[in-house]
Every structure is written in C-alpha cells, then in structure tokens.
C-alpha cells in the first residue's frame, strides 16, 4: 500500500499500470467498520482500490465540529493495509485548496432541505471536494454510504449533471448491535451519551414498524419518531423528516415510499441516521 499526499504523487501511482479498474472510497478518516464495508465492496469490484482521507474544512459549518473531528492517519493506514487497499491520498488543505483557489460546485434543489437547511454551505463543500476527488483520482467506481442519504442524492445528481465518467455505488448502513449507526463522531460521546444515542435507531425503527403495520400518514410517522426522541433527556432534535427518497421533499398525507431521516444532538454531538420504506429509489 502506498500513501501519497500530493496530487502529482497520487496520479503517478494511479496511472502506473494501464488498463486496470479503480474503485475510490472517499473518507474523512477516523475509520470504522462502516468505512471498511465500502472498502471491501470496492476491493471485490475493482482491480485496484484507492481511499482518500481528507477532513474537508469547507463542508464544516461549525468551527468547533471541525476542530474536534477525530484524526489518526497511522491507525487509518493500518486498517486500510489490512483490507488490501492499494493507494491512499491524504492531502493537506493547502494541497486541495492552494492560495488563490476560487472554484466551487453548487447542486441546486436537492441540497435545500434536510442537512442543507441546517448546515449552510455544507453541500457546496461536499460537491466541490467530491468533484475534485473524482478529477484527481479518476476512479471507475466511487463508494458512498447510505448513512449520508442526502449526500448520495446530491453526488448522483452532480455526476449526472456534469457527466462524470464513473459509477456511484451505495452501500448499506453498518450499525452497532444496539442499532447505533457507526460514525466517527460516536467516539466523542461519553458513556451516558453513548447509551442515549441509541434513540436515533430506535425512533427510525419505530417509524418503519408503524409503516409495516399499515400506518401511512406522514405526520403520524414523523410524530412516532419525535415522541420517542422527546422521551430521551440528553437528545435534542435538529430535524426529523419523512421525505420522498428521490426529491427529498417533505411528505404530506398518505405516503407510499419514504426516507425517514433525522439529525439529533446528543449532548453537543450532532448525529444523523436514516431508514427507507416502500419502493427503493431508482439507482
């Protein structure tokens, strides 16, 4: 496994052997089994696997969140080596955004609700860094987690609109045995908060169970989630949503298919999670 930092060094290694397929797994490091599930899928589907590790400052709307985001390149590299990864790109912010940098990518409608409404500028940061990653790494396939459901919709829209010549592969959410979705931010929770954090998975499962039992009213399904979260003293709702999985527009009245999603503060750690019911959205 080769660890690169500069664009030139990454590209030299990426293009060293002609004719091979490459899978790219974009990450912000602090890797866990959720990230590794993407790496394993990429390992099976491509001749070579690259992983990018970059805590992208432009997608953080909260400076404290950026400052305390966990970072450990050595530990990440050890995990990736064990998974048979070929190439890492771990650039500095100065490499990605050198002096004089001025280009951004804006995806319009699907960035407006949910995370976009609560994290101003977040998806412009995401779309811009992912576009740059795709240009630098030139993968045949790029792997993303359903954990960041809106991010998947935004990236697919960008890939379609700008005709990036690659396939987006979406991988299921990896959870702890008690249902908590794996997240690098989980390490910031103290033991009491860690226990309280199970409320996200419980609330989403309750909405899925209600849907499976025949409940179709969007407000009632949302209330099923908000009531459960309200019962957890350490949890504070940022948003709770039952939206269309394709357009991400909030649902009203009877629902056929829905993306249940939420952002909830546990103490001062903001966690997101989601589950989908009904017809799967088109790939």
For the annotated catalytic residues, the residue numbers are: 35
Q: Supply the DSSP string of 83-122, one letter for each residue.
A: TT--EEE---HHHHS-TT--------GGGSSHHHHHSTTH
Piece of the chain touching ligand AMP by CB under 6 A; list 92-100, 158-166, 174-182, 191-199: 174-182
Piece of the chain touching ligand AMP by CB under 6 A; list 16-24, 31-39, 72-80, 86-94: 31-39
Helices then strands, counting H and E runs in the chain, come out as 11, 9
181 sits near ligand AMP (criterion: CB under 6 A): yes
174 sits near ligand AMP (criterion: CB under 6 A): yes
8 Å CB contact between 42 and 84: no
Return d(Cα 97, Cα 235) in angstroms, integer: 36
User: 210-243 burial string, b = 16+ CB within 10 Å, else e?
Assistant: bbeeeebbbeebbbbbeebbeebebbeebbbbbb
8 Å CB contact between 28 and 69: yes
Main-chain phi, psi angles of 181, to 5 degrees: -65, 135
Minimum distance from CB of 157 to ligand AMP (Å)?
15
8 Å CB contact between 80 and 4: no
Among 28, 87, 131, 158, binds ligand AMP (CB under 6 A): 28
37 sits near ligand AMP (criterion: CB under 6 A): yes
35 sits near ligand AMP (criterion: CB under 6 A): yes
114 sits near ligand AMP (criterion: CB under 6 A): no
Residue with the CB atom nearest ligand AMP in the bound state: 145
38 sits near ligand AMP (criterion: CB under 6 A): yes
Minimum distance from CB of 178 to ligand AMP (Å)?
13
183 sits near ligand AMP (criterion: CB under 6 A): yes
- Which residue reads 């990864």 in tokens? 85
Q: Which is nearer to ligand AMP, 35 or 141 (CB)?
A: 35
154 sits near ligand AMP (criterion: CB under 6 A): no
- Return the half-sphere exposure (C-beta side, CA atoms, 13 A cut-off) of residue 59: 21
- Return the half-sphere exposure (C-beta side, CA atoms, 13 A cut-off) of residue 192: 6
Residue ranges in 132-151 that form contacts with ligand AMP under rule CB under 6 A: 144-145, 147-148
Minimum distance from CB of 278 to ligand AMP (Å)?
21
Return d(Cα 124, Cα 126) in angstroms, integer: 5
173 sits near ligand AMP (criterion: CB under 6 A): yes
Q: Which is nearer to ligand AMP, 173 or 207 (CB)?
A: 173
Interface residues toward ligand AMP, by CB under 6 A: 27-28, 34-35, 37-38, 144-145, 147-148, 171, 173-174, 181-184
């Amino acid at each position: 496994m080769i660890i690169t930092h500069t664009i030139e060094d990454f590209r030299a290694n990426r293009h060293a052997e002609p004719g091979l397929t490459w899978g790219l797994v974009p990450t912000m490091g602090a890797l866990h089994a959720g990230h590794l599930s993407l790496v394993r899928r990429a390992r099976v589907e491509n001749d070579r696997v690259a992983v990018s590790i970059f805590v992208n400052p432009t997608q953080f709307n909260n400076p404290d969140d950026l400052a305390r985001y966990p970072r450990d390149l050595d530990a990440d590299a050890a995990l990736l080596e064990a998974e048979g990864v070929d190439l890492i790109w771990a650039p500095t912010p100065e490499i990605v955004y050198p002096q004089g940098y001025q280009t951004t990518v804006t995806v319009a409608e699907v960035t407006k609700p949910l995370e976009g409404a609560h994290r101003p500028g977040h998806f412009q940061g995401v779309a811009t860094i992912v576009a740059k990653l795709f240009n630098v790494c030139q993968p045949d396939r790029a792997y993303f987690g359903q954990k960041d459901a809106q991010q998947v919709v935004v990236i697919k829209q960008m890939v379609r609109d700008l005709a990036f010549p690659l396939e987006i592969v979406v991988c299921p959410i990896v959870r702890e045995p008690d249902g908590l979705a794996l997240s690098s931010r989980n390490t910031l929770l103290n033991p009491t908060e860690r226990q309280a954090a199970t409320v996200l998975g419980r609330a989403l499962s309750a909405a899925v169970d209600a849907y499976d039992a025949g409940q179709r009213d969007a407000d009632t399904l949302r209330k099923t989630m908000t009531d459960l979260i309200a019962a957890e003293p350490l949890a504070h709702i940022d948003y709770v949503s039952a939206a269309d999985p394709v357009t991400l527009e909030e649902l009203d009245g009877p629902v056929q298919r829905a993306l249940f999603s939420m952002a909830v503060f546990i103490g001062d750690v903001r966690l997101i999670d989601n589950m989908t019911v009904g017809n799967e959205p088109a790939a």
